[in-house]
Amino acid sequence: MKAKQRKGITRREFIKHAGAGLLAAGLGADLIGPRRARAAEKTLKILQWSHFVPRYDTEWFDRFATQWGETKNVRVTVDHIGLAEIPARTAAEISAGEGHDLIEWISPPAQFEPSVLDLTDVNQEAQRRFGKQLPVSTLSSYNPHTKKYYGFSHGWTIDPGNYRKSLWTKVGKPDGPETWEDLVTFGGRIKKELGTQLGIGLSQELDSTMAAWALLWSFDTSIQDAQENVALNNPRTVAAVEYITRLYKAAMVPEIFSWTAVSNNQALIAGRASYILNSISAYRSAQKQVPEIAKDIFFVPALKGPRGTRWSSEHVIYVYIIPSYSKSADIAKEFLLHLVANYDQAMYASELYNSPAFFDGPVLAGSRGYSPVRGVRTMRDLHNAWFEDDPFRIEGEAKGKLAPLKTAMEWTANVGYPGPASPAVGEVFGTFILPNMLAKAAQGMKPAETVAEAEVQIKKIFSQWRQRGLIGGKV
């Protein structure tokens, strides 16, 4: 195994550098087409992020990949790098025409479509073996305009509401908020009466951006329609922005304008937030660091908007790409199928941070590295069983705390919904246009003006990518 270099890089830095990746991908280079390697040269080089749950890398994935290679007479090497390094490293290897055969992203790498292999074949084979892929994964790896799978999505991470049950019980909502309006009504009371604010950021970072998307969707609006036309400037978007100004005044504090991607986690673990939008990672950290706080953290699905609509963004979407220069494309595709076939292990090693993109795939028999679960035949069965009875529950914790996450596939949308993830959507996401729009209104700018300003910026981005032929729509 090659030595691995791990760096503590924030997700905010990742999004910042993703913009550089967008530009680098557009420069292009003379790329080497895929060729079959001679038998004596069978290798597979994998590059991916250092997982938020360290045991996933150190105790499982690296050994899983190399052991598979040994059975196939393939030398597998795995390199882990910080999140912020992935976009620039991908662009550099593509420009050089050499590097890793598989590169894993945790957001849709649509901007690299011209320089990666079309993975339609492996996606179709995966659906033949494991059943239909979840729409959130398909729409994060497939471009309906060019009809090309620029990536392969093996899994995703759920983004529920995390709330402090003791605080919400004191204001009469022991089961937590159900609607966005509940955050104003009951979250406002918690702040006024108990002195604890809500933890939703309005800053230039990843969690603030995902919260902004979720808010718009739940108000039945978005930056684009299903045909990839810009559709932001409408009365429902203005209503969503007006809502956030009320929420800020009722239940939040000025520090949310300068939050980083770890701020809401830290606030929840420190007991300074009554509710945050995040994956279960903050809860897992609390289990290890502050068990008493962890016992008080519970979960709710995406919140309902004024007409009952509820959507949340995926917290992470795992997408592998195979650069066009790869000489081991066939081997890489075979490994991807092997990974999906063993996704129960990926779920367990990630402490349920990873959820499968193929819920109907079978769970293999034999030693799996965890205690057997009765009545389980498919990944859906196992997913539901573990979320009903968390195998990582600490002593004294209530059973079934993760049960509300069992239906997450019903209320999780891809970035760009109701259209696909695309290079244009990725640039809007990575340049923080939506949280900036909300923050300006909360700080006093008229909501209609912030929406109009954001739409101008978004239309410019869409126009540039449409001229390159990588997105659809006309507006």
Percent of the chain at pLDDT > 90 equals 85
pLDDT at 30: 34
Neighbour tally for 255: CB within 10 Å: 14
Task: Read off the pLDDT band of 253 (50, 70, 90).
Answer: very high
Compute the distance between CA of residue 81 and CA of residue 89 in angstroms, rounded to an integer: 9
Neighbour tally for 292: CB within 10 Å: 9
pLDDT digits (tens, 9 = 90+) for 168-196: 999 999 999 999 999 999 999 999 999 99
Q: State mean pLDDT over 277-302.
A: 96
Judge whether 317 and 356 are in contact, CB under 8 Å.
no
pLDDT digits (tens, 9 = 90+) for 108-122: 999 999 999 999 999
CA neighbor of 416 nearest in space, from 207, 227, 254, 233:
227
pLDDT tops 90 at residue 400: yes
Task: Read off the pLDDT band of 442 (50, 70, 90).
Answer: very high
Which tops the pLDDT comparison, 10 or 94?
94
pLDDT at 367: 66
pLDDT at 416: 95
Compute the distance between CA of residue 356 and CA of residue 360 in angstroms, rounded to an integer: 9
Task: Read off the pLDDT band of 25 (50, 70, 90).
Answer: very low
H-helix or E-strand spanning residue 164 = strand 161-164
Judge whether 210 and 313 are in contact, CB under 8 Å.
yes
Domains in the chain: ranges and CATH:
11-157+315-393 (3.40.190.10), 161-313+414-467 (3.40.190.10)
Task: Read off the pLDDT band of 28 (50, 70, 90).
Answer: very low
Q: Token pair of 237, please? A: 């978007």
Judge whether 142 and 153 are in contact, CB under 8 Å.
no
The whole-chain average pLDDT of the chain stands at 91
pTM: 0.88
pLDDT at 84: 75
Q: What is the DSSP string of 356-409?
A: ES-TTSBPPPS--SS---TT--BHHHHHHHHHHS-TTPPTTPPTTTTGGGGGHH
Task: Read off the pLDDT band of 475 (50, 70, 90).
Answer: confident
DSSP code for 152: E
Q: State mean pLDDT over 280-284.
A: 94
